Amino acid sequence: MTNRTARIYDVVIVGAGPAGLCAALYAGRGMLKAVTIERGAPGGELLNTDLIEDYIGFESIKGWELAQKMAEHAKKFGAEIVTDTVERIKRDADGWFDVQTARGDTYRTQAVILTAGGTPIKLGVPGEKEFAGKGVSYCAVCDGAFFKGERLAVVGGGDAAVEEADYLTRYASKVHLVHRRDDFRASKLLQERAFANPKIEVIRNTVVPEIVGNAKGVTHAVLEDNTTGARANLDVGGVFIFVGFKPNTQLVEGHVDHDAAGYLITDNRMMTSMAGLFAAGDVRSQVTRQITTAVGDATTAAIAVEKYLKSLREAQGDGKGTR
């Protein structure tokens, strides 16, 4: 990493999904000097979602379209969005943060809003790593079109698994939805829609202990019945895995209070146990993780940052910034 002069901001927003873009919008409205750092295109998980039907005001909208609208709206309020990967967030003894990126840049700030989301949890079974990108996928929107006419397996029982299984039926000849339990965690609406789809077969109380293939890609998934232990091969051309996400909190150096699953615990201002570090969206411990909750978190966090910085300046007695 090269050493460059640190760039100083009022707040650094890490991630440009719905939470990050909303935080950028409100930071702009609050006249804060803010930067939003995103490793890819603005939008986050919206870009991996085909259709959004539960965001108030939009009965139905494509994920990429909503992402575009959010980014454009944030930019109208002066949002600065930088394409780079944050590798480290470190709070110094003086209360300032150093946010360091893969390109060698350092951003100095007294407040960070972490909205970095999460990464897919792996099954951790033989064949998963070997066939990643060769039949094993974690994104139906990204890869579904490559499997036209194929039989596919979707592993999981939450909203993502059920919704993506339904989505994949537009390409696949058959989708086998494999869940380790009898009951699904997905919303009733999603379940009703998917289970009514004639191209979806639900396989309950079953796990996938191995994924098998050849030089061309995946050929079948091994199924194991949870109750009997019996195994059988399911001939499929692809296995889509949706068994959860792990929050991207490893970027923060030092201890921050979190729940058993690693999600950050915040107060009602979205501040974590590390003063000046705020969390919003999928990295935060909460009951549900939706677009609506992400932007709600971000609204609170951005406004709280404005008040937090004001209190710091008042405590210094000059009423002005420390920059």
CATH, residue 94: 3.50.50.60
37 lies in a domain? yes
- Euclidean distance between CA atoms 40 and 36, whole angstroms: 12
Is residue 127 situated within a structural domain? no
Domain assignment present for 292: yes
- Shared-domain flag, residues 166 and 312: no
* Residue 31 pLDDT: 96
241, 261, 287 — which closes off a domain? 241
Whether 323 maps to a domain, the answer reads no
User: For the whole prediction, is pTM greater than 0.85?
Assistant: no
Residue 232 clears pLDDT 80, i.e. is over it: yes
Residue spans of beta strands (DSSP E) within 190-297: 200-203, 206-214, 217-225, 231-235, 238-241, 245-247, 277-279
Residue 204 within any structural domain of the chain: yes
Residue-wise pLDDT for 34-86, tens only, equals 999 999 999 998 988 888 888 999 999 999 999 999 999 999 999 999 999 99
CA 32 to chain centre: 25
Number of domains the chain contains: 2
Could you tell me the residue range of the domain that residue 21 belongs to? 7-120+245-316
Question: What residues pair up with 7 in beta bridges, in sequence order?
Answer: 107
Averaged pLDDT, 242-249: 92
- Total Cβ atoms within 10 A of residue 112: 27
Q: What is the helix (H) or strand (E) element at residue 4, kind and residue range?
A: none
Reported confidence tier of residue 318, pLDDT bands at 50, 70, 90: low
SS3 state of residue 26: helix
Residue with tokens 């460059």: 4
Q: How many residues are present in the chain?
A: 323
pLDDT in tens, 11-20: 999 999 999 9
Q: Is 307 helix (H, G, I), strand (E, B) or coil?
A: helix
Structure tokens at 214: 């050849």
Q: CA 40, CA 34: separation in Å to the nearest integer? A: 18
Instruction: Determine the 3-state secondary structure of 70 from DSSP.
Output: helix
List beta partners, residue 108. Answer: 8, 98
Residue 118 is predicted with a pLDDT of 87
Residues 225 and 276 both lie in one domain? no
321 falls within a domain: no
Residue 131 lies in a domain: no
Q: Once rounded to an integer, what is the mean pLDDT over residues 2-16?
A: 87
**Residues with catalytic roles:** 139, 142-143
Q: Is 107 found in the same domain as 38?
A: yes
Q: Which of 218, 241, 264 is the last residue of a domain?
A: 241
Q: What is the mean pLDDT of residues 83-90?
A: 97
